[in-house]
Structure 1
Amino acid sequence: MPVTDVITDTENLTMTVVADFAAPVERVWSAYSDPRQLERFWGPPGWPATFTSWDHSVGGRANYTMNGPRGESSSGSWEFLAIEAPSRFEVIDAFADEDGEPLENFPATRMTFDFEPTADGSRMVTKSYFPSVEALEQLVGMGMVEGLKMAMAQLDIVLQDLREFAQGKGTEVELLDDTHVRITRLVDGPRDLVWRAYNEEELMRQWMLGPDGWEMTECVIATTPGDTHRTSWAPVGDTEGEAFGFEGEVLLVDAPRRAVTTERMIGTDGPETLNDLNLYEEDGATLVTLLIEYPDKETRDMILATGMAEGMEASYARLESTLLKV
């Protein structure tokens, strides 16, 4: 986790976040001065940002909207007060409506971002200035600290070459908190083909099989919010195990980037998970990121203990072989 310190000072109405990165100052600066790179980390997992306008000049403004997995949205704006590349910039960060206009009854904060070289890369010090103790407590209570920590963890990925970061590591599982798990796997193939493999029955039946010895017996793909998906598997031959399947509803589709669905085991009342699939392509490879929200820690641990990650790795390896034939 890049964040090394968080200091809340109620007397001076500030909050300081210190983060260290294994990348030079210029590389970190470029991530903050390019809206396409910002979109990959500005916003906690499950709430990716889309910058709808970008005027990177003193007096200019940037507007963005973070889109939640259940169709929620939260918009904000930056007004650039100072830009001193590549060492510092300063903004007024405010909650905003869809047009980028600041919202009443929500405090705006002044934020400074300072970048300095270190022996191992660079350090970023972000300081937020609040208009009152009430504003500080309100924003901290809304999860500002946790959101910044999660954003910095995502920035750590953005700063690295995608293949260097993920190739050869297989399926990785990160426990973000008691109810959220992030699963990542680099797939050697373009995003459009990976999206098709998730959304075309003929392709999905070729790869989403888990360990050897299983077959897909049912495959109902849904690509429109409100529709129902359903997938089942059964053992083949001497393979041990009982047939099982999952079903759920589609909540959000942003092809070929993102799909959010609910999922529960067929024939049960739950527990239900929220699955947020994101695809990002770089240099002909696609990073598959699946953010899963569980109802509680017990359910999370129970499902992970079934060997889910190992089964997913077998499927992803099969997916790469399938893409070579498309």
Structure 2
Amino acid sequence: MPITAVHTDPEALTLTVIADFTVPLARLWDAYADPRQIERFWGPPGYPATFLRHDVAPGGRSQYRMTGPDGDAHGGYWEWTAVDAPHSFEVRDGFAGEDGTPNTELPSMRMVFSFVETALGSRVTTVTHFGSLAELEQLQQMGMEDGMRAAMAQIDDVVADLTSFAAGQGTELQRLGDTRARVSRIVRGSVEQVWQAHTDPALLRRWQLGPDGWSMPVCEVSTEVGARLRSEWQSDDSGERFGFAGEVVEAVRPTRFVTTERMISPQDPEGLESPQTLNELTLTPVEGGTLVAYVITYPDAEIREQILATGMVDGMESGFARLEAEVLAG
């Protein structure tokens, strides 16, 4: 059991939880920064969490939902107000509806997470600040303290897993609900380097080449919201051509890049007959490099499975390997 102390202060309107671990500080920090890891313990047993968004940066946002054994869902969000990696971060934590909209009928809380090295490993101290005594008592009655104890008891197993989330594990696919998928990989490079590699046409042409024997004659990229994007690949032998088009929805350098995407071809040059996806790219510094996470929203489950069956994830792994070897190496 990692929790070593819990203290409620009605005068300061705070709930403090201290937990100790026998792992290095960076390993514990990554458990909170990596959506693949935090969703393994943020919900209590029987109510696993799924993080649909997780921006570890000031001004960022996290969106999650916890699903019970009977299928009942409980949503939540974080608004990130401060980050000092790997020492601390601060969020506004609240309840949310199924679509992620904040539930204003329930109180939100300011939470400060502090990470320090100890003689045996590392410690995280979580201080929750409430707006009033009534809010503190309301959330205690809702089982907040017991829920935190049960949830944090699961962190030991997560941080003890030194291989599943380490650099070098390749590209991972996770299905999120019925219409989303998360594709993630740790890339050996800084966040700024990886951002540049995703937004500079000259760099994209060096690593995002598609199948062997194909070139990238068209690469139109921008980080201006509303700007159009277009990438086309061509077979060096047959001249066969395909590509993708879309536009920029959101860009926060160097951590978040959101675009739409639809497939184009000579027969459908604007992609009007193709389904459109929403691609949310998040870059997070972790031990070993940068966690690259794409959360892709498809029109429906059938289209998601059709696109995943094309070998998309294997193609992305080939691109990421080329990115490390030919763009970021040295």
Q: What TM bracket, shorter-length normalisation?
A: 0.5 to 0.7
Are the aligned partners of 2:21 and 2:123 in contact in 1 as well (CA < 8 Å)? yes
Distance 1:157 1:311, change over 3 A: farther
**1: CA distance, partners of 2:208 / 2:251:** 20
Which of 279, 294, 299 aligns to 1:295? It is 299
Q: Deviations over 1:144-164 (max 9, x none)?
A: xxxxxxxx9xx8998478887
For 1:286, give the aligned amino acid: T
Q: Deviations over 1:51-78 (max 9, x none)?
A: 3269xxxxxxx65279x9xxx8759424
Percent identity between matched residues is 36
**1:44 corresponds to:** 51
Where 1:278 maps in the other structure, the secondary structure is strand
Which of 240, 246, 261 aligns to 1:263? It is 261
After TM superposition, list the pairs within 5 Å mapping 1:219-238 onto structure 2.
Answer: 219-237=219-237
* Deviation, structure 1 residue 316: 0.8
Are the aligned partners of 1:39 and 1:50 in contact in 2 as well (CA < 8 Å)? no
Which of 92, 103, 111 aligns to 1:64? It is 92
Which of 280, 285, 298 aligns to 1:276? It is 280
For 1:112, give the aligned amino acid: E
**1: CA distance, partners of 2:205 / 2:30:** 37
Distance 1:250 1:112, change over 3 A: same
1:285 correspondence with 2:289: yes
Are the aligned partners of 2:179 and 2:300 in contact in 1 as well (CA < 8 Å)? yes
Distance 1:167 1:283, change over 3 A: closer
Are the aligned partners of 1:183 and 1:289 in contact in 2 as well (CA < 8 Å)? yes
* Deviation, structure 1 residue 234: 1.2
**1:26 corresponds to:** 21
Distance 1:312 1:247, change over 3 A: same
Structure 1 length normalisation: TM-score?
0.60
Distance 1:319 1:162, change over 3 A: farther
**2:150 corresponds to:** 125
Are the aligned partners of 1:112 and 1:126 in contact in 2 as well (CA < 8 Å)? no
For 1:256, give the aligned amino acid: P
**2:135 corresponds to:** none
Are the aligned partners of 1:52 and 1:65 in contact in 2 as well (CA < 8 Å)? no
Where 1:316 maps in the other structure, the secondary structure is helix
**1:193 corresponds to:** 193
For 1:289, give the aligned amino acid: A
Aligned residues: 242
* Deviation, structure 1 residue 90: 8.2
* Deviation, structure 1 residue 324: 3.7
After TM superposition, list the pairs within 5 Å mapping 1:1-326 onto structure 2.
Answer: 25-26=20-21, 37=32, 41=38, 44-46=51-53, 47-48=61-62, 49-52=78-81, 63-64=91-92, 74=102, 76-78=108-110, 91=128, 109-110=139-140, 111-112=144-145, 124-126=149-151, 159=159, 165-237=165-237, 242-266=240-264, 267=268, 268-269=271-272, 270-283=274-287, 285-324=289-328
- Structure 1's consecutive aligned runs of 4 or more residues displaced over 3 angstroms after TM superposition are 33-43, 72-76, 85-93, 155-164
Distance 1:53 1:289, change over 3 A: closer
Distance 1:167 1:213, change over 3 A: same
Are the aligned partners of 2:214 and 2:233 in contact in 1 as well (CA < 8 Å)? yes
Structure 2 length normalisation: TM-score?
0.59
* Deviation, structure 1 residue 211: 2.1
Supply the RMSD in Å over aligned alpha carbons.
Answer: 4.4
For 1:228, give the aligned amino acid: R
Unaligned 5+ residue runs, structure 1?
1-23, 55-61, 94-100, 103-107, 116-123, 128-151
**1: CA distance, partners of 2:289 / 2:125:** 33
